[in-house]
Amino acid sequence: MEQTTETTLRTFLEEELARLETEVETIEREGHEALSEASGENNYRDHMADQGTATFSRELDMTLEDNIRESLVAVRRALERMDDGNYSVCERCESDIDEERLKAIPTATLCITCKAAEESR
């Protein structure tokens, strides 16, 4: 992978890391309501609450939090892989991950072949 491409992706990942850390902090400090306001999902949530599906709405919040935490782990891992110099190396078969794939999914750790094999299991 070209150095400029990796630098671009690193910048993206670092911004993503900062954004996700802020979201996790917001959840921990102010609870889920603040996050839903920040992410502009309030109308949808209010609508769901109106229909008496508050339980569902809370589950939605938990899923959102899980997603953020999972993304955070993936982004940190991608940055560690960059630091180790094996960012574009597939974790399973050790061949190069296609550059276009990394541009589309900067947190990818498997080449397209291994990813397809994993998903078909």
Q: How far is the CB of 75 from Zn ion (least distance, A)?
A: 21
Of the ranges 11-19, 31-39, 53-61, 113-121, which one interacts with Zn ion (CB under 5 A)?
Answer: 113-121
- Of 9-28, which residues contact Zn ion (CB under 5 A)? none
Chain centroid to CA 72: 6
Among 93, 116, 117, 118, binds Zn ion (CB under 5 A): 93
Strands (E), the chain: none
Are residues 70 and 79 in contact, defined by beta-carbon separation less than 8 angstroms?
no
Stretch that binds Zn ion, among 12-20, 34-42, 51-59, 86-94 (CB under 5 A): 86-94
Which residue stretch of 12-20, 55-63, 69-77, 106-114 sits at the interface with Zn ion (rule: CB under 5 A)?
106-114
**Alpha carbon distance 6, 99 (integer Å):** 9
Interaction between residue 105 and Zn ion (CB under 5 A): no
Amino acid in the structure at residue 81: R
90 binds Zn ion (CB under 5 A): yes
Cα gap 75→72, rounded to integer Å: 5
User: Under the criterion CB under 5 A, does residue 111 sit at the interface with Zn ion?
Assistant: yes
Phi then psi dihedrals of residue 89, to 5 deg: -100, 125
